[in-house]
Structures are given as C-alpha cells and as structure tokens.
Amino acid sequence: MVGTHSSQHVPPPAPAGTAGPTVAVVGSGPSGCYVAQFLAKTWPDSEITVFESLPAPYGLIRYGVAADHQGTKGVVRQFDRLFTRGGIRFAGNVTVGRDIGFARLAASFDVVVLATGLPGDRELDVPRDPRARVVGAGALLRALNGFPHHGLPRTPLGSRVLVVGIGNVALDVLRLLSKDSEAFTGSDIDDELLGQLRPARPAVLDVVARSDASGAKCDAAMLRELIALDGVDIGAPGLGDQDRGPVADLLRTCAVPAREEPGRTRVTFHFGLVPESVTTRDGRTVLTARRRDGGEPVEFVTDSVVTAIGFTHGAAQDDGCPGPDWADDHVYRVGWLSRGPRGTIAENRKHAQRVVRSIVDDFEAGRITAGRPGFAGVADLLACRVVGFRDWQRIEAAEERSARPGRCRRKITDLDRMLALATGAH
C-alpha cells in the first residue's frame, strides 16, 4: 500500500535529558526549517519534530525553486545539519490531518507551528471553456522538479504558449521553456517531463500582465537572466516613455523587431491587459483580453495558457490543508500560509524569526506552558509509516547515483520506490 511500509523503524528519540518545550513543526519547507533552527538555538533543551507529508524534506526548495537555480537550493545544506547534528527529528511521510488528526497533534505538543505553505495554483477568474488547455505555473514547475504526483501536466504545451502574470514564477516558466536542454547542466530537472512537456522550444511565448511595466512585480535580475539566453528575442509592444523602473529600462534596451528564424523563441510582453475569457477555436486555446483603459478586445490564439497569478491553500477537500479549526493558543502559522504567497526564501527567514520571537515571548509570559509528551504522544500512530532523516538520505543517495550526465541528481517520483529505498528494501 502506498504510504506505509512494514518496517518498525521510527526516528531516533530526542537526545536524553531534554527538558524544554516539545515542538511540532508541520512542513519542512524553508519557513518550517528556519523556525526549527531558531527555536533550537533559543531552546537547546527542547524536543523539536518536523513533520513532512512526503518521504523527502524541504518542500518549496526541492519542488518549487526552479531546477536550474541550484544556488538557491543550496540552502538545504544548512538544514541538513539540523537533522544530522542539531538534534531535530525529521518525521517524513506523515500527513497531519490524515495520518495524525490535528487535535491529537495539538494535544501532544506544547507548541505547534504550521508551515505548510500554499500548494495550489490560483485560478484565472474568468469564463473558461473546459476544453481549453490551461495549466497552473506551480503544477508545471513541480512537474519539471520531479514532484511525486500523478496529476501533474505531462502532455506537450505546444509551440505557442501564453503566460498570464509577470512575477518571478512567470519568469521561471518563461526561462525553463525557452532554455536549450544543454543549458540545464548541473540542474536536477526532470528530463523525462521536460521532454514530454516541451519536445522542442516554443516558437512564441506571449506574456499578458494586468500591470504596466512600471508595476511589474518580477525581479530585474530574473528578467536579465531570461534576456541573456541564447536564441531568445524579446518584444515589448506598447512600452511607453512614461514607463519607469528597472523592468521597463531592461525591456526598452533589449526589445528587437520580430524576425522569423527557425529554432528561436520570441518572448513578447504585453502590459496593461486584463483577461476576459478563455475559449477554444479549431482545437486551439484562445485568451481574450482588454486594455485596462478600455478599447477593443485583443485575442491570443495559442496552444496552452499557463497561469502564474498566485497560490492558494489547495483543494478544499484535502484533509492535509490547515483549516480555520487548526487553531489554539499554542498554535502558530508561518511563511506563505500566514502572510500569503509573497516574498522570497530570505523574507520567509525573517518571518520565521518574528514568529519564534512571539513563541518565546508567549512562553516566558506564561501564556503557553511545557508538559505535553511531544513525539511520544503520537509515536504509536506512526511506527509503520514514518521516514526519518537517515531513511531520506538513502533515497537521496540513490537519486545522486542515478543522475544523468550533466545533472546533479535524478529525482525519484514513485512513492513506493522512495519508501522501499528508505527502509533498505532496494
């Protein structure tokens, strides 16, 4: 059965002599790991367990940060030390809400920190033909990052793709779709999915943004990285003298007239357009938009629409998504789950610091107290399920051994195989 294994292995207990508060962190992405790190420094006698629904740690870093940004992913090396030398327990393959009821978790730990992020793609709120090909940017990036889920996109996006949004996630999509396969050297991109989704570089990538260039939310450095790619031509019709800021300045200097050359990708930025509908025509997907100041509608006939307009809590019926009832005086929220899908890993680190400060203040003021059993209070539910950090390291070693030439690892996307590796069955 997927998700369980026959081993009676459980992660090692907390170091003997721990007498501080017991802490459960739900989610092992950057916010959760930073909270664990700061709490461990503040309370070296505490017992801290980081729960993760997958057998692999690090959430957004492993599956959300673009596969070709290994420098950003390098933050996991400091988190590795938390679990190997910092006395913090990793409890993978455990979904709070399904494998452990939230009430049981809250009753077992003195402090509970929810750091599950926002896993769902925000949908485009316009009339939409169900036959239209619309893909969420988050799902697309997870697919290219080897996320172990069968519901991710797998069929080709086509030679003409439209991206809605102009944030950093949109630029990740544009870069990954327009980059030569050879340029992914050193990455951990899922080559099988890349080949399925993008057998060849798209000839046309249109970008539709509600804002003008002055209000674009993307980082100039990310845009500069896209502009620098071989075989990419940039267009920005409508960019006016009134547009200011680094994004407008960059586009103004690099935009070139359209040219028809096989093998090249033309990326065209359209600012100030509000999507009105997504329909189909002759098997193609058609997005209709209108300028913010009115005027005639504009049509884009395309093969696929990729939406990069934010993230949500995920499916309402997903028991693993924190609901309003996941609350108590000793329960805290951190990262995107708390403040919405804004900010980088560095900003999540700052937020984790503030949340830890609140936890410590509450403890010192007597608003929360120690005395709950911690992991011992839920261990009976997890004996045949939990994947500890050493178990995870067996999976990681297998991924690194099987890496294709020019790749740093080949992620395992089959959960049963991950669990077999974790328990030494492979």
Q: Do residue 209 and residue 251 come from a single domain?
A: yes
**Any domain includes 385:** yes
Q: Do residue 339 and residue 416 come from a single domain?
A: yes
Q: How far apart are CA 235 and CA 227, in angstroms?
A: 10
Q: Do residue 129 and residue 262 come from a single domain?
A: yes
pLDDT for residue 426: 65
Q: How far apart are CA 29 and CA 31, in angstroms?
A: 6
pLDDT for residue 1: 37
Last residue in a domain, options 292, 312, 332? 312
> CB–CB of 58/33 below 8 Å?
yes
Alpha helices in 164-219 (DSSP H): 168-178, 191-197
Q: Do residue 27 and residue 167 come from a single domain?
A: no
Q: Do residue 111 and residue 148 come from a single domain?
A: no
Q: Do residue 409 and residue 318 come from a single domain?
A: yes
Q: Do residue 210 and residue 259 come from a single domain?
A: yes
Q: Do residue 361 and residue 281 come from a single domain?
A: no
**Any domain includes 10:** no
pLDDT digits (tens, 9 = 90+) for 308-348: 999 998 777 788 889 899 999 999 999 999 998 888 899 99
Quote the tokens at residue 207: 């970008």
Domain that holds residue 77: 20-119+314-423
Last residue in a domain, options 312, 333, 362? 312
User: 166: Cβ–Cβ under 8 A, 6 or more apart, which residues?
Assistant: 207, 209, 211, 216, 217, 218, 269, 271
**Any domain includes 341:** yes
Quote the tokens at residue 312: 């949500």
Q: Do residue 147 and residue 220 come from a single domain?
A: yes
Residues in the chain, pLDDT under 70: 1-18, 426
Q: Do residue 220 and residue 323 come from a single domain?
A: no
CATH number of the domain at 321, please.
3.40.50.720
Q: How far apart are CA 301 and CA 160, in angstroms?
A: 8
Query: How many separate domains does the chain show?
Result: 2
Backbone φ and ψ of 22, nearest 5°:
-95, 135
**Any domain includes 194:** yes
Q: How far apart are CA 333 and CA 339, in angstroms?
A: 9
Q: Do residue 40 and residue 73 come from a single domain?
A: yes
CATH number of the domain at 137, please.
3.50.50.60
The SS3 call for residue 156 is: coil
Buried residues in 339-369 as b, exposed as e (16+ CB within 10 A)? eebeeebeebbebbeebbeebbebbeeeebe
Q: How far apart are CA 385 and CA 390, in angstroms?
A: 14
**Roughly how many angstroms between the first and final C-alpha of the chain, as a whole number?**
16
pLDDT digits (tens, 9 = 90+) for 246-300: 999 999 999 888 777 788 999 999 999 999 999 999 999 999 999 988 889 999 9
CA neighbor of 145 nearest in space, from 188, 104, 181, 184 = 188
Last residue in a domain, options 289, 312, 335? 312
